[in-house]
Amino acid sequence: MVNLASLNPQQRHAVETTEGPVLILAGAGTGKTRVITCRIAHLVAKGVSPGDILAVTFTNKASREMQERVRTMLPRPRRDGDAPPERPTISTFHSLCVRILRLHIEKLGYKRNFTIYSDGEQMSAMKKVLSSIKIGAEKTDAREMLSLLSRIKNSKDGQISGDPNLIALAQHLRIKYESSLRACNAVDFDDLLLLTLRLFKEHPESLEACREKYRYVMVDEYQDTNAAQFQLVHSITSEHRNFCVVGDDDQSIYGWRGAEVANLLDLEKFYPEVKVVKLEQNYRSTNVILRAANAVIKNNPRRRPKQLWSKQGDGLLIQLHTFKDDEEEARVIAEEIEANRTMRGIPWNEQAILFRTNIQARPLEMALRKEGIRYHLIGGQGFFDRREIKDFISYLKAFLNPHDDISLLRIANTPARGLSDVTMERLLAASSERKCSVYSALKNPLVQISFQERTRESIMAFQKLLETNHNALQQEEGTLRLNDWADQLMGKIGYYEEIRRSEKEAAAADSRIRNLKEMMVDLEPSDYYAPTPAERLTYYLEQITLDADRSEEKEVAENAVTLITMHSCKGLEFPHAFVVGLEEGLLPHSRSKVEGTLDEERRLFYVALTRAMKTLTLSYCLGRRKYGQPTPAHPSQFLKELPPECIEDADAKAKKPVDVGTGKSLFANMRSAING
DNA sequence: AATTGCTAAGTTTTT
DNA sequence: CTTAGCAATT
């Protein structure tokens, strides 16, 4: 039985309300994950079959954590001959859709071995489209178009606000882009959702099967769902109505990616009988921190009011620093972190620095290194962005699905095998003329004949390479081990040599080869078995495209300071947090003014504040290096929203330990700095 | 085919 | 200031 006694009354209420729609408004640090896992366990204890439960998360990390916690809470499988009990389905939106699509996508005219395009591959595909339609002198940014397209695709009715000209262009590009992906038997992240919705619409029996299977549906971080995601869960739950969402409108910080807080705020529109449970008791922070956070977020209109409180007492005042420039800021923060460690026994891994933009990490990194402090920078350029890794993945993808043009073009002449840019350009043209993939084009004798003999030989050799490996992967019998196969292959095609040749430093080449070999070690999935290597490889590739930062998590156990953006810190907590660069233009970001997203910037600040458990240190600079130039800076308007009694001037404190007038003079200083 | 040099731009990034 | 992307050059 679930230990309900360990829950507070609100949590308990949330857990015990099992039937019908429920909205759990879970403020920061209120034990949200605990409530979800307990609720699942409670459902099972009440007799619901675990297999009937679906819990959807946004990140793979959250999904893994939840799986693990649910596993320990559910009754152990019995040893006698009973069939092992089904597990609840706990997955991200995207994994869930992949799972559905791998079974049914043929009904939508794709082949089952479809490829999922990552960000970079989407970019390449969009660039390909852009270059093929030759837009006049106007510069069209593939990135911008993709994000616009994504917003259109994920919106309710394909309508979004913005420059009508750009939107019209995006609508036009959508058609080209989609048919281009389709010819490659490829889908992008958004398509995973949209195709699943289309499947439900065009093949109602598949929706019916989902409704039948997932009788209890829960969604975590509900404030981050977009229109398509809402449609998906709504279509599954609109009949049985066992729909439980957990979220916090105050922590909605992904509006710019199409998240619709309205899904949470207006839930009653679709579920008028919804029961709302508020979790306001915070188990993370001191009351000083919570009072400050409450006061800031209160300035946002249109929210579901919440007041966080905790039993942990007031705690220490929030420290506010004013620095001359970003260099001084970095230096002093680094010194303080080190002082915390040596004088107060606070290890590095209990301290974190939070900032708005990634570039801010730079001076911080330098200062930390100078102090000899180990740190861990979250985000930034990942493992999978390295050239050799991308090449390798492209090889794997091209062998599985040779019609994947983007991967094929990437590897065609890497290493050089006589397929020059001109050749590939002509093949590409032939493919779009024939409305087929590049692979189909280069296999076509009519196309081959148009090339010179030497080139033709190269094309045919390349085609043979693809075909041979594609076929090898389909073999059911035999003992093809993916890691050995991949290693031999990279050797055979001369990829290792290519790396050694192109890198002047032998050490750099070795490190890149090491990266590759490191990847190959994991090629045979340990948690998944399928008879054909192709299926196992597909599974592997899905894991890494849908869960790109999985490999970055090993270092967390290390004793190091965390450097992190305010966006990626959501869901985390740190005993001692430093929030830096609280300046107009950074937070709120200058672009938020033109885009009218001040509320979201405030929520971002709120998220940052509520990460701190014991101490919170804020800082802003009077000047900051911007693009190399020193530029004047002004304190963030959000600082004025902090209750004066919660903060103290850290700089004055250092000089004069106690001063009654500190708070006032601090604000006077700040005001004059703002007006200055 | 590869290297060099110029220009332009420069939030956030769960999948 | 940095860096990515592209053109022009060897």
What DSSP letter does each residue of A562-605 carry, written as one string? Answer: EEEETTTTTT--EEEEEE---BTBBTTBHHHHHHT-HHHHHHHH
Q: Is the pLDDT of residue A140 over 80?
A: no
Q: Rounded to an integer, what distance in angstroms lies between the CA atom of residue A222 and that of residue A24?
A: 10
Distance A86 CA to B10 C1' (A): 51
At residue A163 the predicted structure's pLDDT band, cuts being 50, 70 and 90, is confident
The one-letter code for the residue type at A49 is S
Select the more confidently predicted residue: A210 or A552.
Answer: A210
Report pLDDT digits (tens) over A458-483. Answer: 999 999 999 999 999 998 877 788 99
Helix (H/G/I), strand (E/B), else coil: A275: strand
- Hits for CB < 7 Å against strand C across A residues 110-129: 127
Closest-CA residue to A112 (of A393, A391, A403, A395): A403
Select the more confidently predicted residue: A645 or A257.
Answer: A645
Q: Judge whether A386 counts as a catalytic residue.
A: no
Residue A538 structure tokens: 């597909």
Cross-strand pairs, A399: none
Average pLDDT (A284-290) is 96
The pLDDT value recorded for residue A289 is: 97
At residue A675 the predicted structure's pLDDT band, cuts being 50, 70 and 90, is very low
Please write down the HEC assignment for all residues of A290-328: HHHHHHHHCCCCCCCCCCCECCCCCCCCEEEEEECCHHH
Q: Is the pLDDT of residue A556 over 70?
A: no
Report pLDDT digits (tens) over A564-608. Answer: 999 999 999 999 999 999 999 999 999 888 888 899 999 999 999
Q: Which of A19-28, A343-352, A512-521, A562-571 has the lowest mean pLDDT?
A: A512-521
The pLDDT value recorded for residue A659 is: 45
Q: Judge whether A475 counts as a catalytic residue.
A: no
Q: Rounded to an integer, what distance in angstroms lies between the CA atom of residue A177 and that of residue A172?
A: 9
Residue A7 structure tokens: 């829950």
Determine how β-strand A629-632 pairs with β-strand A623-626. antiparallel
> Within chain A, how many helices (H) and strands (E) appear?
29, 17
Catalytic residue selected from A611, A615, A624, A648: A611
At residue A1 the predicted structure's pLDDT band, cuts being 50, 70 and 90, is low
Average pLDDT (A238-258) is 94
Kindly report which amino acid residue has its CA closest to the C1' atom of nucleotide B12. Answer: A567
Q: How many residues does chain A have?
A: 676
Report pLDDT digits (tens) over A359-395. Answer: 999 999 999 999 999 999 887 666 777 888 889 999 9
Select the more confidently predicted residue: A152 or A337.
Answer: A337
The pLDDT value recorded for residue A504 is: 73
Q: Judge whether A487 counts as a catalytic residue.
A: no
- Hits for CB < 7 Å against strand B across A residues 244-263: 254, 256-257, 259
pTM over 0.85: yes
Tell me how many degrees the CA angle A145-A265-A293 measures, rounded to the nearest 5. 95
Average pLDDT (A184-204) is 95
At residue A80 the predicted structure's pLDDT band, cuts being 50, 70 and 90, is low
Closest-CA residue to A403 (of A447, A438, A441): A438
Neighbours of A353 (CB within 10 A): 29
Do residues A607 and A601 make contact, with C-beta atoms less than 8 angstroms apart?
no
At residue A11 the predicted structure's pLDDT band, cuts being 50, 70 and 90, is very high
Q: Judge whether A251 counts as a catalytic residue.
A: yes
Helix (H/G/I), strand (E/B), else coil: A202: helix
Helix (H/G/I), strand (E/B), else coil: A505: coil
The pLDDT value recorded for residue A310 is: 96
The pLDDT value recorded for residue A661 is: 44
Is A594 near strand B, with its CB below 7 A from some atom of it?
A: no
CA A37 to chain centre: 22
Select the more confidently predicted residue: A441 or A676.
Answer: A441
Q: Judge whether A32 counts as a catalytic residue.
A: yes
At residue A131 the predicted structure's pLDDT band, cuts being 50, 70 and 90, is confident
At residue A318 the predicted structure's pLDDT band, cuts being 50, 70 and 90, is very high
Average pLDDT (A230-253) is 96
The nucleotide lying nearest A627 (C-alpha to C1') is: C1
Distance A419 CA to C10 C1' (A): 22
Q: Is the pLDDT of residue A30 over 90?
A: yes
Catalytic residue selected from A251, A322, A448, A565: A251
The pLDDT value recorded for residue A660 is: 45
